[in-house]
Amino acid sequence: MRAFAALLDRLSFTASRNAKLRLIRDHLADAPDPDRGWALAALTGALSFTAAKPAMIRQAVEARVDAELFRLSYDYVGDLAETAALIWPARHGANREPELSEVIDTLNTAKRGEVQGLLEGWLDALDADGRWALLKLVTGGLRVGVSARLAWQAAADFGGVEVADIQEVWHAQTPPYADLLAWLDGKTERPSAMAHGRFRPVMLAQPIDEAIDLPRLDPAAYAAEWKWDGIRVQAVSEGGVKRLYSRTGEDVSGAFPDVLAALNYEGAIDGELLVLRDGRVAPFGDLQQRLNRKTAEAKLIASHPAGIRAYDLLAAEGEDLRALPFAERRARLEAFVAAIGSDRIDLSPLVPFETWKGLAARRAEPPPGDPQSAEGLMLKRLDSVYEAGRPKGPWFKWKRDPHLIDAVLMYAQRGHGKRSSFYSDYTFGVWTEDADGIHVLTPVGKAYFGFTDEELKQLDKFVRDHTVERFGPVRSVTATREFGLVLEVAFEGLQRSKRHKSGVAMRFPRISRIRWDKPAKEADELATLERMLD
């Protein structure tokens, strides 16, 4: 437990991605089995305990510490688990310190009534760091700024393999990942990836640079399709196992039982998750109401029915199609979707075109109906295999509105008048590299409208939950490569500006969308903005 606690402690204060990778990698190298596997499970979110409720912790502490002293301490520290970890009185001669695996095994088999006693015994035996890690683990509050993807990358670094290799086998493995770690140790072959319902690493598109890329691309070699305004998902149904994954491999099935029920096929579809009403795409805001919920309510499901618009077919009837060229996969997809015959799953149509100019015109003025709500176009080379990651060349995205960027929320300020109780003025930034080559955010603008009242409440909550510092009415929020809130910002024009540190100033910026789904590090770069200047 000690090594795991030290790892969590260190991770929670480390901002740099590389440093986090090193910490996790070293832990995988140093910690024994099965503890290191459990640590990996904890970091990737594969463990969830909710056995211990805050009230239980409070009760255990108050049995040992004067309530008034506890209150003063909690006031000061501001976090229940942390206060409990710090204030817990040492018991000399207490039990041997428990190992992480011991805690997990015991909790997994403990009866409800036994949890409190177990917890108290462990708290007696651990030091403050260990107690903190334990309490965070058992209350399901393990937030140390590590995404599943980052942990996979660290595991890949440790084993000297590609992260896609890890992702490929991940969902076929179960904690504490003995086979996976033995493979990463170099002791065994790669474990089977053949588990039903597993995730396949996603292929992503490069943003296109119209001036540079288009002239050297042959329009006849590419297919075009609309880039729908939803959430990219992978819908897998194999041997009775049905799963819906986000593009980073997180299982989001729980929020979309209606979609899951419609996965009546044997294969893996890559598509866009949308709210679909009578085959028409509803605004992104409608989908947003279904997101960020662990479970869905029947009423919401009925009023906001979700479905998938299919882009690609990765596997069918037990056959892996990813090595086939796009044109062939597409033909298979069309037949596959037709055979499913569900109004929850339809086909993203191709956009026919002859020349880039002709396609640009369609992009600028999409035909009436769904395409008008599309974000833009995707270009896919007809011979492209389905390759994990964001390879340069085979796929491009060509967003519709040139004055649309994804920025990261940096500061929020209290509003005026009836908004004075909300943090409603948002300063956002894009990535740039500082003199040392480190990615930092540089503020590029400020917006205070474009969102609904409901979204304002969500933004306000985000600001309060993730405040780093306060300066009078302004708060800075967590905004790192690993964690931050991405805002899609629309604006009318861009000018050079000496007054702004970033060197650019936006005209009429507004929040066009809150990208709860988008990783902060994928927000735009300052260079993208600079290219818009001309």
Tell me how far, at minimum, the Cβ of 72 lies from another protein, in Å: 5
Find the binder of another protein among 12, 206, 289, 528 (CB under 8 A): 12
Which residues neighbour 148 within 8 Å (Cβ) at sequence distance 6 or greater?
43, 44, 45, 248, 249, 250
String of DSSP letters for 445-493:
EEE--SS-HHHHHHHHHHHHHTEEEEETTEEEE---SSS--EEEEE-SE
Tell me how far, at minimum, the Cβ of 441 lies from another protein, in Å: 15
Q: Are residues 221 and 383 in contact, defined by beta-carbon separation less than 8 angstroms? A: yes
Tell me how far, at minimum, the Cβ of 218 lies from another protein, in Å: 44
Pairwise CA distance, residues 17 & 501, whole Å: 25
* For another protein, the closer CB: 25 or 196: 25
Pairwise CA distance, residues 419 & 77, whole Å: 30
Which residues neighbour 87 within 8 Å (Cβ) at sequence distance 6 or greater?
61, 65, 69, 70, 73
Find the binder of another protein among 50, 63, 68, 341 (CB under 8 A): 68
Among candidates 449, 450, 409, which has minimal Cα distance to 429?
Answer: 409
Tell me how far, at minimum, the Cβ of 410 lies from another protein, in Å: 15
Tell me how far, at minimum, the Cβ of 21 lies from another protein, in Å: 12
Find the binder of another protein among 56, 87, 178, 214 (CB under 8 A): 87
* For another protein, the closer CB: 436 or 453: 436
Which residues neighbour 249 within 8 Å (Cβ) at sequence distance 6 or greater?
148, 149, 152, 167, 170, 171, 199, 201, 202
* For another protein, the closer CB: 72 or 327: 72
β 267-277/241-246 pair status:
unpaired
Binding-site string for another protein from residue 106 to residue 145, where x marks contact by CB under 8 A and - marks none: ---------------------xx-----------------
* For another protein, the closer CB: 30 or 492: 30
* For another protein, the closer CB: 64 or 362: 64
**Which of 5-13, 172-180, 257-265, 343-351 is the region at the interface with another protein (rule: CB under 8 A)?**
5-13
83 near another protein, judged by CB under 8 A: yes
Distances (CA, A) of 319 to 255, 314, 323, 324, 329: 28, 9, 11, 11, 12
* For another protein, the closer CB: 73 or 248: 73
97 near another protein, judged by CB under 8 A: no
* For another protein, the closer CB: 10 or 531: 10
Q: What is the CA radius of gyration of the chain?
A: 25
Chain positions 405 to 444 lying near another protein, rule: CB under 8 A, are 436, 438
> Helix, strand, or coil here: 375?
coil
Among candidates 341, 309, 306, 312, which has minimal Cα distance to 325?
Answer: 312
Chain positions 24 to 53 lying near another protein, rule: CB under 8 A, are 26
Find the binder of another protein among 16, 174, 355, 372 (CB under 8 A): 16
* For another protein, the closer CB: 19 or 339: 19
Pairwise CA distance, residues 193 & 393, whole Å: 28
* Structure-token pair, residue 237: 């149904």
CB atoms within 10 A of CB 283: 12
* For another protein, the closer CB: 480 or 502: 480
474 near another protein, judged by CB under 8 A: no
Find the binder of another protein among 51, 77, 193, 360 (CB under 8 A): 77
Tell me how far, at minimum, the Cβ of 123 lies from another protein, in Å: 14
10 near another protein, judged by CB under 8 A: yes
**Which of 66-74, 178-186, 210-218, 359-367 is the region at the interface with another protein (rule: CB under 8 A)?**
66-74
Helices (H) then strands (E): counts for the chain: 20, 20
CB atoms within 10 A of CB 264: 13
Ramachandran area for residue 292 (φ above 0: left; ψ -120 to 50: alpha; else beta):
left
* For another protein, the closer CB: 84 or 526: 84
Pairwise CA distance, residues 349 & 187, whole Å: 47
Tell me how far, at minimum, the Cβ of 68 lies from another protein, in Å: 5
Pairwise CA distance, residues 410 & 23, whole Å: 27
Tell me how far, at minimum, the Cβ of 78 lies from another protein, in Å: 6
DSSP 83: H
| Binding footprint of another protein, residue count (CB under 8 A) | 34
* For another protein, the closer CB: 131 or 363: 131
> Which spans of this chain sit near another protein (rule: CB under 8 A)?
6, 10, 12-16, 19, 22-23, 26, 65-66, 68-70, 72-73, 76-79, 82-83, 86-87, 89-90, 127-128, 436, 438, 468-469
